[in-house]
Structure 1
Amino acid sequence: MPGTPKNNSKRIGTYMLALIAGIVLISSCTPVKKLAYFQSAGTREDTLTVAPAYVPTIRKGDMLSVQVSSLNAEASGYFNPAAVADNNTTLNATTNPLARQTGYLVAADGTIKLPLIGQLAVEGLTNTAASDLIASKLKVYLKEPTVIVRNTNFRISVLGEVARPSLFTIPNEQITLPEALGLAGDLTIYGRRDNVLVIRDEGNKRIFARLDMTQRETFKSPYYALRPNDIIYVEPGKARATSVDRAYIIAPVITGVLSLLAIIATRR
């Protein structure tokens, strides 16, 4: 005997729900191997020879913070620019990098201009070397001067399939690729860990380097340690496109199920 309308509606509803569940399961499976970082060949302990630590040098366009101290605090204050009070000027990884900053801009000729000292060529120097150079010039005016030079616009950008894409200011001027991804909240489940793009400007060249974060060889890459103005882009994987397609597939199916059940219900 043919089933009653009520039984038919239950049966159809069960079939359709099973179909939807099957679509979701089939299209959302991502192998664990594609998600794990720094995989090895299976040994318990590995040792890698990594690239030398990156030591940043001063470049044109850098904004340098120069803090001077000596036995005469009042005289030292003459060389320190007045701080700008602003809600956004705290220097940390979450600072708005476009907020107003005090300091000395490295000009196109690679120099900065300091009170009394005048112009100093600092391009290509490390912060330590620049500090020593400025301190040597200040000995004419100050007793036992101490100088600390910092780059206040050491910035990196993290874009793509990460939890919090943003532009980050790095106060200690040292950051690695995993640390940058950590600042951005790590990759989403849809981000390709095997093809992370680092974009870097060197002179008049723009370099595009791709790193496989699932392999330990990443530690040996010259792009593991990031430099000022590096851009990190995390490419979406196939699962991202699948998740979008799934929404377009499931929505009509659910609508059809509801419409069918409504028709059956009205014919009881």
Structure 2
Amino acid sequence: MNSRVILLLGFIALLTGCVSPKQVVYFQGVDSVSDSVLVAPTFVPIIRPADVLSVQVNSLNPEKSMIFNPYMVANGGNAATTAGATASLPAPVGYVVSMSGEITIPLLGPVKVAGQTVDQAGRTIAEKLTRFLKEPTVDVRNLNFRISVLGEVARPALFTIPNNQVTIIEALGLAGDVTIVGRRDNVLVVRETNGAKKFARVDLTRRDLFRSPYYYLHPNDIVYVEPGKARLASADRASQITPIVLSALSFVAIILTQVF
């Protein structure tokens, strides 16, 4: 009886797929510290119409500063940002950039911010605030910097990035990493540029990933991890071998009944 059970288990093992280590190891080809220095292209997000901005004003006049922080007052002194990236929550509270590229701040009125980085926008607003405050500093954050991670990952979701910068590796980390059967060598990134969708393939197993223009993700990027051959094959085999397995289990049950 034992030999028949062993043969049955061996038969089932042959029907299941296996994944090669080369298919799951990241950054292959890094042999030593000396030859692994790669510089990633920098990416600094630019403010665009329809972005939602958090504007936090500080100065040597704290009480007067609060006049310019209405959203912080409404949220108990805390703007709608978080310390780390989270799965997307309801729409954040902040200043919506108009189609003309402006936000309207109390007392200041409309301020042109589109086309600037958040640091540049902060300096622009701070300069205008010198009429009202002593040595103002302004922290601007983009509250709707969001990326989607889908497919063969542990936790597919839409993520909000509070520090306005994220790499594809960090995004996959937020999603719990690629599953063992996900394709790391052919990750799809969908990016919208000037109203047009662009599609790019990224190989996470290569060390030159760090030179890719898709290493840093842009707002509203979609990252999709395809299932590998093992996943597709196992799904197909599951439908094929289920009747075989059930018959085999019935056979084992009959043998056990006869023995005991």
Query: Does TM, scored on the shorter chain, surpass 0.5?
Result: yes
Aligned to 1:18: 7
Identify if the C-alpha distance between structure 1 residues 213 and 261 changes in structure 2 by more than 3 Å, giving closer, same or farther. closer
What pairs up with 1:108-123 in 2 under 5 angstroms?
108-123=99-114
- For the pair 1:30 / 2:19, whether they are aligned, the reply is yes
TM-superposed deviation, 1:43: 5.7
> Is the alpha carbon distance of 1:138 and 1:262 closer, same or farther for their aligned partners in structure 2, counting shifts above 3 Å?
closer
For residue 178 of structure 1, the aligned residue among 163, 166, 169 is 169
- What is the 5 A alignment of 1:177-196? 177-196=168-187
Q: Which of 69, 76, 84 is the aligned partner of 2:65? A: 76
Q: Aligned pairs, how many?
A: 254
Q: Percent of pairs identical after alignment?
A: 53
Question: Where does residue 43 of structure 2 map in the other structure?
Answer: 54
Give the Cα–Cα distance (whole angstroms) in 1 for the partners of residues 188 and 237 of structure 2: 27
Question: Which of these two proteins has the greater Rg computed from alpha carbons?
Answer: 1
- Name the structure 1 match of 2:200: 209
The residue type paired with residue 90 of structure 2 is A
2:46 maps to a residue whose letter is T
Amino acid across the alignment from 1:77: M
Matching of residues 256-267 of structure 1 within 5 Å: 256-260=247-251
Shift of 1:41: 7.1
Q: Which residue of 1 aligns with 2:95?
A: 104
Shift of 1:212: 0.7
- Deviation string, structure 1 residues 106-127 (Cα, Å, up to 9, x no partner): 1111111111111111111011
User: CA 1:74–1:55 in structure 2 vs 1: closer, same or farther (change >3 Å)?
Assistant: same
- Residue 236 of structure 1 deviates from its aligned partner by 0.3
Q: Quick one: distance in 2 between partners of 1:258 and 1:71?
A: 78
Cα distance in 2 between the residues matched to 1:241 and 1:30: 12
The amino acid of 2:158's aligned partner reads L
1:19-41 deviation digits (Å, cap 9, x = unpaired): 44234245322211111111117
CA shift, 1:101, in A, is: 2.3
2:53 matches 1:64: yes
SS in 1 for 2:74: coil
Q: CA RMSD in A?
A: 2.4
Q: Whole-Å Cα distance in 2 between the matches of residues 245 and 164 of structure 1?
A: 24
For residue 83 of structure 1, report the CA deviation from its aligned partner. 3.1
Contact kept? 2:153, 2:182, Cα under 8 Å = yes
Does 16-25 or 205-214 show the bigger shift? 16-25
Q: TM-score, normalised by structure 2?
A: 0.88
Structure 1: where are the runs of 5+ without partners?
1-9
3-state DSSP of counterpart to 1:150: strand
- 2:53 alignment partner AA: L
Query: What SS does structure 2 have at the residue aligned with 1:78?
Result: helix
Query: Does the Cα contact within 8 Å between 1:20 and 1:250 map onto a contact in 2?
Result: no
Residue from 128, 132, 135 that aligns with 2:119: 128
Correspondent of 1:139 among 118, 130, 134: 130
Aligned twin of 1:165:
156
Within the alignment, does 1:251 sit opposite 2:242 as a pair?
Answer: yes
SS in 2 for 1:33: helix
Q: Which structure 2 residue ranges, 5 or more long, are not aligned? A: none
CA distance in 1 between counterparts of 2:40 and 2:242 reads 50
Deviation at 1:62, TM superposition (A): 1.0
Of 192-201 and 141-150, more deviation after overlay is shown by: 141-150
CA 1:36–1:26 in 2, change beyond 3 Å: closer, same or farther? farther
Partner of 2:29: 40
